[in-house]
Amino acid sequence: MFGSIGFTELILILVIVLIIFGAGKLPQLGEGLGKAIKGFKKSVHEADAIEAEAQAQMTTAPQGQSMPVPPQSAAAPQPVDASTIEQPAASVPPPSKA
C-alpha cells in the first residue's frame, strides 16, 4: 500500500505530524481526513455508476437509431443584424485643413 515506506518512516511522519499539529488537533485532523476519503470514494462510486448506466444505454439502443438529444435548458441567442446596431458617434472631430 505504501510502496517502499517502512515502519520507521511511518513513525517519523507521525512524530512530525504530532509536533506540527499537536495532540489536541489529531482527532480533528483524523476526522477531516476520514471524511475526505469517504467523499472521494463516494464520488468514484457515483462516476462508475454513471459510466455503467451510459454503457447499458449504449448497448440497449437500436443500432439504426441515435441516442436522443436532451433539450437545452436555455434558449439559444438569436443572431443580431448588423444594420440594427447603433454605431457610436465619433467624439473627436476630424482635423481641419489650415
Quote helix, strand, coil % in the chain, to nearest 5.
Answer: 55, 0, 45
> pLDDT for 73-94, tens place per residue?
665 666 666 666 666 665 666 6
pLDDT the model gives residue 37: 95
pLDDT the model gives residue 51: 92
The domain ranges of the chain are 26-61
Find out whether 18 and 26 touch, Cβ atoms under 8 Å.
yes
Query: H-helix or E-strand containing 93?
Result: none
pLDDT the model gives residue 87: 62
In degrees, rounded to 5, the angle at the alpha carbon of residue 69 between the alpha carbons of residues 68 and 74 is 150
Q: Which residues of the chain have pLDDT under 70?
A: 1-2, 61-94, 98
